[in-house]
Chains A and B, each alone.
Chain A
Amino acid sequence: MSSKENREQRLLLFFSKKQDYVTSEELANLLNVSKKTVYRLIKKINDESDGTLLLSEKGRGYKLDYEKYISQNRLRSTKTSHYTPAERRKRVMEELLLSSPKAKNVYDLYEEYYVGDSVISTDEQIISKELAEYDLVLARKNRTIAIIGKEANIRKAISDLIQLLNIIDIDELRSNKQLNFNNYDVLFVLDQLRMMEKQLNITIPYPYNVNIFSHLYILISRSRKVGTSIFAEKVAEVSDGQKEKDLILHHVAQETITNVENYLHEILSENEAYYLYQYLVSSRMEGKETIGTHVNFSSEVEQITRFYLDEMSTLLNTSTKNEAIFVDLGNHIKPMLNRLAHNIRVKNSLLTQIKMGYGQIYQQVTKVSQHVSEKYHFPEINEDENGFITLYFARIIESNQVPIKTIIMCTTGVGTSELLKVKVAKKFPELEIIAVVSTKDSKKLLRTYTDIELILTTVQLTNQVPITTLLVSAMFTADDQRRLQKKIEVIYEER
């Protein structure tokens, strides 16, 4: 994505979060551009959208017409018949990558897009630039073009391209029209994923499942388009010691590759099982063995997890000393270290939102990650990884809110209030229930507990109390729960 498109997107994202007027000065600061550029950007966004998306008011600045924004987004995502220049380039590049190093006829390649030679020539320049990031070259010879470069780089480029589509639900792949995917291959690979999960008795969560999917899908498409002979080239050294490290994973990888071989009716290079193993060992797995236990953490994983927790705890000025948090983050760090070792990048499609929503935490995580790389001699921990880690700490902060001291009341203090206590405690862990009392004891109690923030009652209180009060039914219906959630948000905001 060019930086201009990026700016527009950032601007819209910022507005969608803000939901209030923002001055052009603030926007200029945010994007680090001049006020003039901001005016131009806003004009462009409004010109390109159906009606005025960014409303302006003198003296107050700009505000997003949120409903229009949402409805336009929906429109855009359902539009499939017509390709934007960026989409066209993406599809051409995908086609070329999949058949690399074979050359393709330019006119065949562009047949469905109805564009002239000058457009094709511009496309070539832009694609060349993008390919350069992967050390790949776009070679033009008469009327044909081809992508030339190392197999590992080609696969990496395809994988990034697929992940650009921001697929979150892997089952979406079955019916995704944006992709040039072969539906049989998609179903086959999804089956393989499921089988691996079953054999290992785990689930592979997003985005790791998408990553493994891409890997296998690319392997199949490449084998079919260009044959398997070119894959003899070694992408990484395979040491026996590493192979032994996890026999079960290796076994499952081997079996899956055998399935792929049968599917393709071709023999694949020996390396393939090891590549797949690398992906497996670099994925977070959720299952009986990983949840709530850290017996299988190596001392390195343990040290690095503690390092993140300790450093972040100081930077954020909040406590992270909690076994559950440790296990959770450790289960992320463990495969992350494998990803770093095997040079596997997992695209973080939420990165822009993470940076925007948790900017401060993200920056601090980046800092700590740099220390980790230096201290433990790891390659640089990239933006995508820092984004993932940020989410763990964002969650810690959100759940670290001091609980709301709450009293539950009814006429007797042992009737509906006691019943409500159990229901509330189950659904709202953010409430600390100090006492369950009868209405007649309430005055005395409020004198004793001066720091009460919320009273939940099943009976209408006759006396005014200076504390937030919510009348709920003993049934604790969905409506009651919604109203309580709102009250909790208000209390958090007022703190």
Chain B
Amino acid sequence: MKNANEFYQVISHCEVNSRDDVFDLISEHVSQDSRFSSKKELVEQLKQRENAGDIQIAEHVLLPHIESPLLKQSQLLFLRLDRPLRTWNEHIENIELIIVVLLKENDELATKKRIRSLMKKLADEAFIIALLSAKNQATFQKELTEI
């Protein structure tokens, strides 16, 4: 199920069994407008970021993020997993929500501000719990109204 908002998309009922499945899903939903020569290139960048430092931001929640000149517009993807992903890597497990931040290089300040405000909210444990426990897409969307 997709959401029409051009800035962010909430994708519910994701069925993924591995880290690679997640990357496939991300590249599927990345805006058609990007200049990545291949899906592989985008995934490569995400992996590079992860190699530099962990992307887990809370129990059950991941935040893969990159900034790239190859993106034509900035994008947020909320991937809600129906069944938790048991293992992400050696020390990250039981993932239920993946928030993907794809930032166009040197994007306008207004966009960065919106992302920042989301990040501030993500620092709040109560907000994370609300996102994780949202029963349906509508409740989940409602939590995001501020961004």
Give A438 to B67 CA distance when docked, in angstroms.
10
Give A457 to B55 CA distance when docked, in angstroms.
12
Q: Please, which residues of chain B bring their CB within 8 A of the CB of A415?
A: 63, 65, 101, 103, 115, 119
Q: Determine whether the beta carbon of A471 is less than 8 Å from that of B53.
A: yes
Q: Please, which residues of chain B bring their CB within 8 A of the CB of A418?
A: 115-116, 119-120
The smallest C-beta distance from B125 to any residue of chain A, in angstroms, reads: 10
Q: Determine whether the beta carbon of B120 is less than 8 Å from that of A474.
A: no
Q: Please, which residues of chain A bring their CB within 8 A of the CB of B115?
A: 414-415, 418
**Chain B residues within 8 Å of chain A by Cβ, number:** 22
Q: Determine whether the beta carbon of B123 is less than 8 Å from that of A475.
A: no
Q: Which of A411, A420, A422, A423 contacts B52 (CB 8 A)?
A: A411
Give A400 to B55 CA distance when docked, in angstroms.
35
- B-contact 0/1 string along A450-479, CB 8 Å cutoff: 000000011110000000000101110000
Q: Please, which residues of chain B bring their CB within 8 A of the CB of A422?
A: 119-120, 123-124
**Chain A residues within 8 Å of chain B by Cβ, number:** 23
- B-contact 0/1 string along A404-447, CB 8 Å cutoff: 00000011111110111111001000000000001000000000
The smallest C-beta distance from B120 to any residue of chain A, in angstroms, reads: 5
Q: Please, which residues of chain A bring their CB within 8 A of the CB of B58?
A: 475
Q: Please, which residues of chain B bring their CB within 8 A of the CB of A419?
A: 57, 63, 119-120, 122-123
Q: Which applies to chain B's interface (DSSP): helix, strand, loop or mixed?
A: mixed
For A419, A420, A422, A458, the residue with the greatest tally of chain B CB atoms inside 10 Å of its CB is A419
- A-contact 0/1 string along B83-121, CB 8 Å cutoff: 000000000000000000101000000001001100110
Q: Please, which residues of chain A bring their CB within 8 A of the CB of B41?
A: none
Q: With contacts A473-B56, A475-B57 known, is A412 near B101, CB below 8 A?
A: yes
Q: Determine whether the beta carbon of B116 is less than 8 Å from that of A414.
A: yes
Give A420 to B52 CA distance when docked, in angstroms.
16
Q: Which of A423, A426, A473 contacts B54 (CB 8 A)?
A: A473
Q: Determine whether the beta carbon of B53 is less than 8 Å from that of A460.
A: yes
Residue of B nearest to A472 (CB): B53
Residue of A nearest to B111 (CB): A414
For B52, B56, B122, the residue with the greatest tally of chain A CB atoms inside 10 Å of its CB is B52
24 intermolecular pairs with C-beta atoms under 8 Å apart: A410-B53, A411-B67, A412-B65, A414-B103, A414-B116, A415-B65, A415-B101, A415-B115, A415-B119, A416-B53, A418-B115, A419-B119, A419-B122, A419-B123, A421-B123, A422-B123, A423-B123, A438-B67, A457-B53, A458-B53, A459-B52, A460-B52, A475-B56, A475-B57
Given contacts A415-B101, A418-B116, A457-B53, 10 further A-B contacts (CB under 8 A): A412-B103, A416-B55, A420-B123, A423-B123, A458-B54, A460-B53, A473-B53, A473-B56, A474-B54, A474-B55
